[in-house]
Structure 1
Amino acid sequence: MDIMSFKSRIIQKKSITMILTDSDRCRDGIQLKKSLTARDLTGLGIAAIVGAGIFSTIGNAAYHGGPAVSVLFLFTAVACGLSALCYAQFASTIPVSGSAYTYAYASMGEIAAWIIGWDLIMEYAVGNIAVAISWSDYFTAMLTGVGIHFPEYFSMDYLTAKAGYDAAEVLLRNGTQFFALKQDLRESWLAWQSAPALTHRLRLIVDIPAIAIILLVTRLVYIGMKETKKIANLMVIIKLAVLIAFIGIGTFYIHPENWHPFAPNGISGVLKGVSG
């Protein structure tokens, strides 16, 4: 295969007609059954818009942005709105499965679709890991609140514990008191110190709650969409109820004097919440 033919192959596009035709064909006698209703799709849309980041990253965003984090919601609302319009246009034009991979194949070519397909796989994998770790923190904090202590070395990943332990050791050797360390460094130090030693340098440290929730969700997805959608809809209702309750109760604790300075770290601090 010469260079020109290879180049034309990787940038070739798939026509919408061909995509729709391939979607209607039954592959090896098996075809996916449509089991989601308009209500289910609406629930999935709400779950995607009000993502887990509202629980896992809002604290970090508020830390960097201060009261100006409210402006951050406007930035993200505009970005989400533009993204929604793009997806609505694509979905109405190419009403088949495949999401961004299929849309890229039709508009930009095979190589772009291949890259985006792998990007999506990595995005879902890494994103789920971050959410699982955040959920683990909430879960262990809840257990602590009811008097159940979960070992630090079973609620933290190995690399975080090792990095935190090394950083804490440096500060301790320089004269910093243990309780003057940041909470995450104290937890990492305790996790490393109390973890069972497998070898001289290797400790048994694993985030069991994070692994457990990933396995549970994987099992639910494996069962099938028809069965899973009921749980997904229930989780959306719970999520919205929590947010509405938070906003409703929070209105009684608004103190405008805390809004100064409004943006302690400037616009860069506000935008840092987006990347966080």
Structure 2
Amino acid sequence: MSKSLFRKKSIVSILKDSQDGLSDAHGGGELNKVLRVRDLTALGIAAVIGAGIFSTIGEASYHGGPGVSLLFVITAITCGFSALCYAEFASRVPVSGSAYTYSYVTFGELAAWVIGWALILEYAIGNIAVAISWSGYFNNLLAGIGNAIGVNLSFPGWLTSNYDSASPELYAAAPHIAGIPIILNLPAFIIVVLVTYLAYVGIRESKKSANFMVGLKILVILFVIVVGAFYVNVDNWSPFMPNGFSGVLKGVSAVFFAYIGFDAISTTAEECSNPQRDLPKGMIYSLIICTVLYVLIAFVLTGMVSYSQLKVDDPLAFVFNAVNLPKVSFLISVSAVIATTSVLLVFQIGQPRIWMSMSRDGLLPRKFSTIHPRFKTPSFATIVTGFLVGIPALFLNLTIVTDLTSIGTLFAFILVCGGVLLLPPQEKNPHSKRFRLPYINGQFIVPVIVILFAYLFRNELPQRFSFAGGWEVWKHNIPFFFFVVAALIFTILSFVKKLSLIPVLGLLSCFYLMTEIGFRNWVVFFIWLLIGLTIYFCYGYRRSKLAQA
């Protein structure tokens, strides 16, 4: 019996368990192997292009102006480093679990639990936000249809709001039970129930639905780009960065939230017909397609109206209303409903599979790894996910949900990039079609890059380490202080041990993006991790399969 907190699963044992079917944990069934490159790319695009491009892009454009297009490229490069690291792991460890499974192989059980717990934050909290966003777009869509036919089809305000954001007028208009006003977000709950059912009845149905929604969504987005280009006023692109580069960086969390999702592809590894070949391609293709669309949309938005007008919840619909194109604005509402539905679908597929992997390893009760005998899906875990997302979506107004989701996801990316550095080297096989992460010696490149960035930000660095504003100001710089320490450590390690460039740059770039997220969200994130560690030491540590071995 292993007592170590860092006991690891071997890649060989993981692959063998997958091939054997794990009938004792699966409930006697295996998952359908039906996904190919096209399907994986569609799932990635479905997860990435959603709430971000239809809502948070407005806030980012307001702060960064046309320069927000650079932030999309910077964030895409950061995600690209992580995608390549995910691809290296996924091609070696083609089983479901995403960063959780990958961390179990390289860092050991404690780190695997931490990352699995953080991924719950990413998927569940992120999906609550998406469900609430879907509700708003859907109600706007109903209002538009109602105006066209002269009938009020929209939900009353007390059925699309929450206690935190409800106005005094809404409190007065809402029905009361025992003197308590009833205010909830019913559409958000309904869409979670419907999507959870779709995920429950099987990956084949979910795959077909995702492919349809992605195809329609991209057609609408391309239509928006083409039509909007005719209404662009190039004068709006000047100044390019009205609030400087610091203004552009204010949109980090919103822009990164728009990219969250491509890692969800790796959680469907067991449903791929050829995971070692198809998973890496699906990740990279979806990331490239989404980046091109984001940059084009950013230029269209900031070209059609001044960046100063874009601090709105529905920026795409807003700009077309601003140029007197209400029909296109209506089309945006339709697309937004489809987009957020597809994001919800992919995350509802991904979360149960992470729980399934944790259950197989004994870190969660065995019930979470039960596979439905007919639908071949993790049935119990899917139902629990539905409750975890649906119930809070009824009542919550998650003002920090974007930052919380981003910080959890970036944390996962950091561990994946770090994990690649710890993977044992493999002999080259010219006949193998497995993806291999290109090795670029970072011995001199990493120090040069770090020195270059220190020079470019030489005016900002003294402010970051200044105590002039007292604790209330300096506490927000604590994450940046740890980033500087990490950058120095990896610079030295890269020079001494000739570390691979791509995972080092991925780790440091993700860490830097985390430093741009508010201090309050770091506090909440650490509280979440403490809760997870409590559960691990009270249950998973003793019941782990490695503990019994």
TM-score normalised by length of structure 2: 0.42
Task: Check if 1:198 corresponds to 2:198.
Answer: no
Instruction: Measure, in 2, the Cα distance between the counterparts of 1:194 and 1:267.
Output: 45
- Tell me the CA shift for residue 119 of structure 1: 1.3
- Tell me the CA shift for residue 205 of structure 1: 0.6
- Superposed CA RMSD in Å reads 1.9
- The 3-state SS of whatever aligns with 2:13 is helix
- Tell me the CA shift for residue 135 of structure 1: 1.4
- Tell me the CA shift for residue 267 of structure 1: 2.4
Instruction: Measure, in 1, the Cα distance between the counterparts of 2:15 and 2:129.
Output: 36
- Change in Cα spacing, 1:260 to 1:189, as seen in structure 2 (3 Å) is farther
- Tell me the CA shift for residue 51 of structure 1: 4.2
Letter paired with 2:82: S
Letter paired with 1:33: N
**Matched residue, 1:236:** 214
Moved more, 105-114 or 66-75: 66-75
- The 3-state SS of whatever aligns with 1:89 is helix
**Matched residue, 2:8:** 13
Whether the 8 Å CA contact 1:151–1:191 is kept in 2: the answer is: no
- Change in Cα spacing, 1:145 to 1:190, as seen in structure 2 (3 Å) is farther
- Tell me the CA shift for residue 220 of structure 1: 0.7
**Matched residue, 1:158:** 163
- The 3-state SS of whatever aligns with 1:253 is coil
Give CA deviations for 1:24-45 in whole Å, capped at 9, x if unaligned.
Answer: 2232332223122332122112
Letter paired with 1:23: S
- Change in Cα spacing, 1:124 to 1:107, as seen in structure 2 (3 Å) is same
248, 254, 265: which one aligns with 1:270? 248
Unaligned segments of structure 1, at least 5 residues = 162-187
- The 3-state SS of whatever aligns with 2:212 is helix
Letter paired with 1:138: Y
Instruction: Measure, in 1, the Cα distance between the counterparts of 2:221 and 2:83.
Output: 22
- Tell me the CA shift for residue 113 of structure 1: 0.6
- Change in Cα spacing, 1:49 to 1:155, as seen in structure 2 (3 Å) is closer
**Matched residue, 2:330:** none
Task: Check if 1:211 corresponds to 2:186.
Answer: no
Whether the 8 Å CA contact 2:51–2:133 is kept in 1: the answer is: no
- Change in Cα spacing, 1:260 to 1:155, as seen in structure 2 (3 Å) is same
- Tell me the CA shift for residue 78 of structure 1: 0.8
- Tell me the CA shift for residue 190 of structure 1: 3.4
- Tell me the CA shift for residue 151 of structure 1: 1.4
Unaligned segments of structure 2, at least 5 residues = 255-549
- Tell me the CA shift for residue 275 of structure 1: 1.2
Runs of at least 4 residues off by over 4 Å:
none
TM-score normalised by length of structure 1: 0.82
235, 239, 245: which one aligns with 1:261? 239
Instruction: Measure, in 1, the Cα distance between the counterparts of 2:238 and 2:176.
Output: 49
- The 3-state SS of whatever aligns with 1:234 is helix
Whether the 8 Å CA contact 1:133–1:210 is kept in 2: the answer is: yes
**Matched residue, 1:37:** 36
**Matched residue, 2:261:** none
**Matched residue, 2:296:** none
- Change in Cα spacing, 1:221 to 1:51, as seen in structure 2 (3 Å) is same
Give CA deviations for 1:212-266 in whole Å, capped at 9, x if unaligned.
Answer: 1111111110111011111111111122112111111111111122223333333
**Matched residue, 2:18:** 23
Instruction: Measure, in 2, the Cα distance between the counterparts of 1:218 and 1:260.
Output: 46
- The 3-state SS of whatever aligns with 1:193 is helix
Task: Check if 1:137 corresponds to 2:142.
Answer: no
- Tell me the CA shift for residue 199 of structure 1: 3.8
Give CA deviations for 1:51-102 in whole Å, capped at 9, x if unaligned.
Answer: 4321231122122222222122112211221121111111111122221111
Letter paired with 2:165: T
Whether the 8 Å CA contact 2:32–2:203 is kept in 1: the answer is: no
Letter paired with 1:20: L
- Tell me the CA shift for residue 50 of structure 1: 3.0
- Tell me the CA shift for residue 124 of structure 1: 0.8
Instruction: Measure, in 1, the Cα distance between the counterparts of 2:39 and 2:242.
Output: 42
Instruction: Measure, in 1, the Cα distance between the counterparts of 2:92 and 2:118.
Output: 23
Moved more, 234-243 or 145-154: 145-154
Whether the 8 Å CA contact 1:43–1:236 is kept in 2: the answer is: yes
- Change in Cα spacing, 1:243 to 1:108, as seen in structure 2 (3 Å) is same
- The 3-state SS of whatever aligns with 1:160 is coil
Whether the 8 Å CA contact 2:176–2:182 is kept in 1: the answer is: yes
Give CA deviations for 1:138-183 in whole Å, capped at 9, x if unaligned.
Answer: 111122223234311111122232xxxxxxxxxxxxxxxxxxxxxx
Instruction: Measure, in 2, the Cα distance between the counterparts of 1:254 and 1:73.
Output: 20
Matches within 5 A, 1:144-183: 144-146=143-145, 147=147, 148=152, 149-161=154-166
- Change in Cα spacing, 1:189 to 1:272, as seen in structure 2 (3 Å) is farther
